[in-house]
Structure 1
Amino acid sequence: MRNRILAGLGVAALATVGIAAPATALSSTTADLWVVHAFPGATVDIVITGAADVTLEDVAPEDVAPLVDVPAGDYQVEILLASDSSSLLGPVPVTLAANTSYSAVAHPNAAGALTLTPFVNDLSSIAAGESRVVVRHTAEAPAVDVLAGTSELFTGVTSGQEGIVDVPAGTYPIAVEVSPDGPTAIGPVDLTFDAGTAYFVHAFGAGLDLPYGVVMFEIAGLGVGPDGVPAGSAGLAAENTVNGGLAAGLGALLLGLIAAGTVVVRRASASATR
């Protein structure tokens, strides 16, 4: 992916592979913005205008670009077909508050149409020995249940929701089933989550044309020491939430997390550390 930074923007636009951006690059005047391409089949240009101007060129499906220290303010985001610059979506208004981390995700909605939704990335402290998994419904798919072994992480998750759960770091057999009592969409596949790291997972796929893929990035360095607070729960399914808040057009879904296997996960992941 080629990234072009336009007039006067003090921001690092980084390629998909080998990303290393500070997890705490926030201030009273800036926000972090991660741009995620989770719409199958189209290489696009993403044009962001407002308090600063950025154009990301030739963004392929499954690409991720972190834009760190974007000035807070109002923006317009337009998605253009890279081959001929025809407009696919937008301009879509997006407001970025200071001292906040966001993901702007281009994805199909439940009806299969291209949409763009901003998420707030939860960068709150993670209790010692735990990791955070944030799953977002970004595929053209019905409601699903997400399971870790026999434990249900989320049930009846539909497009327009985001799920967040802190779990003890370790390896879990993850599976996804169409809800309720539908076919298994993915897995079970063993996945490993590291302590002090937040994993932001975006489903990648259309309809029930299984298996799905994934677009994912991770932000490390969020853990607290053994004596730190807040204390996390030791239970696998504790502290899980399903939100439709600011991310009103996206939701929680682990459909892509396993389907393409660790090859896709590794290729499409980005790491950020303090």
Structure 2
Amino acid sequence: MSVPSSHARSAVAAPLLRVRTMAVVALALLLSALGLTLSSTPANAAGNATVSILHAVPGATVDVYANGKALLTNFKPGTLTDPQSLPAGTYDLKVVKAGAGADGTAVAEAKDAKVPAGANITVVAHLDADGKPTLTPYVNDSSRVPAGEARLIVRHDAAAPAVDVRADKKVVFSGLTNPDEKSAEVPAGTVSADVVLAGTDTVAIGPADLTLAEGTTTIVYAWGSAEDKNLKLAVQKIATNTNPNGVPGGTGGQADATSPVALGLVGLGAAGLLGLGGVLMVRRHRQGMSAAR
């Protein structure tokens, strides 16, 4: 399929708020705290937040506790949680090595962590450009997509230099750096996607077939470490708002929190160690583009 040129613009990132609580707040946001389940709390309920998390740091498996209760166990690298609708509120949070138990030594801990109402994000635990663990929450764009098209968002969450993203060997996004994202609306269909070093034809990740369904948003995450040779892609599918002039997108993401989010992984084996000390990077991204025909 053909891919339009000059069709994307970089997301504009606001200043970063750095807090030394690696993975704690974001991990708890995706969990059904205090016994809540997805079916009992609709995603659009007032005062709730809808959150998914991608564990994109190679080499560490953890357990997460909130208010003394085990909320997530054996959380492994490469895992993307289903979207969770959670009540706004305040939580005491603790992350320990898998199997350590509630009384185990905290790898990271936060008291009175606030879960804001109205948030709809994917939080990615990943390596920064220097290979240090960090968290980046991204706002997911579920706005309407024109008929016959799909939204493609690419997020650079790898310890790797600037890259270009190609579809069918044509550059769609150029010069993408960690932890930024770029977005475009492209014709719906299936493309062969790969990631190359910026300005070159040197393939860093892929190729992999990527299906861009009409009316949906597909988010591709590049993660891992170039130095450790474990770069991978993760793919998240999110339904957009109803488009009366096109085929509605499938469920997932913000449209139906009871449906699983699709996750695809390609690349080499996982390696490396995770020190969960780290930084919480809160970055708001503005996504979108103006279509060039």
TM, length-normalised to structure 1 = 0.66
1:166 and 2:192 aligned? no
Aligned length: 218
Amino acid at match of 1:66: D
Which residue of the other structure, out of 141, 151, 154, is the alignment partner of 2:173?
154
Which residue of the other structure, out of 120, 130, 133, is the alignment partner of 2:139?
120
Q: Match for residue 66 of structure 1?
A: 82
Cα 1:155/1:90, change in 2 over 3 Å: farther
Q: Percent identity?
A: 34
Q: Match for residue 133 of structure 1?
A: 152
2: distance between equivalents of 1:64 and 1:122?
Answer: 18
> Would the aligned equivalents of 1:195 and 1:223 in 2 still touch at CA under 8 Å?
no
2: distance between equivalents of 1:54 and 1:133?
Answer: 35
1:165-210 Cα offsets, whole Å, 9 max, x none, are: 2211101222211123372112344322111222222223112444
Which residue of the other structure, out of 24, 39, 51, is the alignment partner of 1:33?
51
SS of the aligned residue for 2:160 comes to coil
Q: Match for residue 241 of structure 1?
A: none
Q: Match for residue 109 of structure 1?
A: 128
SS of the aligned residue for 2:157 comes to coil
Which residue of the other structure, out of 106, 109, 118, is the alignment partner of 1:99?
118
> Would the aligned equivalents of 2:54 and 2:123 in 1 still touch at CA under 8 Å?
yes
2: distance between equivalents of 1:217 and 1:164?
Answer: 14
Q: Match for residue 186 of structure 1?
A: 205
SS of the aligned residue for 1:62 comes to coil
Deviation for aligned residue 1:153: 1.8
> Would the aligned equivalents of 2:150 and 2:185 in 1 still touch at CA under 8 Å?
yes
Q: Match for residue 290 of structure 2?
A: none
Cα 1:34/1:227, change in 2 over 3 Å: closer
1:196 and 2:215 aligned? yes
Cα 1:46/1:136, change in 2 over 3 Å: farther
2: distance between equivalents of 1:100 and 1:156?
Answer: 29
2: distance between equivalents of 1:199 and 1:96?
Answer: 26
Amino acid at match of 1:219: I
Q: Match for residue 235 of structure 2?
A: 216
2: distance between equivalents of 1:33 and 1:116?
Answer: 14
Cα 1:154/1:100, change in 2 over 3 Å: same
> Would the aligned equivalents of 2:95 and 2:109 in 1 still touch at CA under 8 Å?
yes
1: distance between equivalents of 2:164 and 2:229?
Answer: 16
1: distance between equivalents of 2:266 and 2:73?
Answer: 28
Deviation for aligned residue 1:59: 0.6
- Choose between structure 1 and 2 for higher RCO, CA contacts under 8 A separated by at least 6 residues: 2
2: distance between equivalents of 1:100 and 1:30?
Answer: 8
Q: Match for residue 10 of structure 1?
A: 36
Amino acid at match of 1:259: G
Q: How does 1:65-84 map to 2 (within 5 A)?
A: 65-72=81-88, 78-84=94-100
Deviation for aligned residue 1:67: 4.3
Amino acid at match of 2:63: D
Q: Which runs of 5+ in 2 are unaligned?
A: 1-29, 248-263, 269-293
SS of the aligned residue for 1:66 comes to coil
Q: Identify the range of structure 1 (91-100 vs 107-116) with the bigger mean alpha-carbon deviation.
A: 91-100
Deviation for aligned residue 1:90: 5.3
Cα 1:137/1:226, change in 2 over 3 Å: same
Q: Which runs of 5+ in 1 are unaligned?
A: 14-20, 229-255, 261-274
2: distance between equivalents of 1:227 and 1:65?
Answer: 29
Cα 1:138/1:76, change in 2 over 3 Å: farther
Which residue of the other structure, out of 251, 267, 272, is the alignment partner of 1:259?
267
Amino acid at match of 2:59: G
1: distance between equivalents of 2:85 and 2:146?
Answer: 26
Deviation for aligned residue 1:95: 6.0
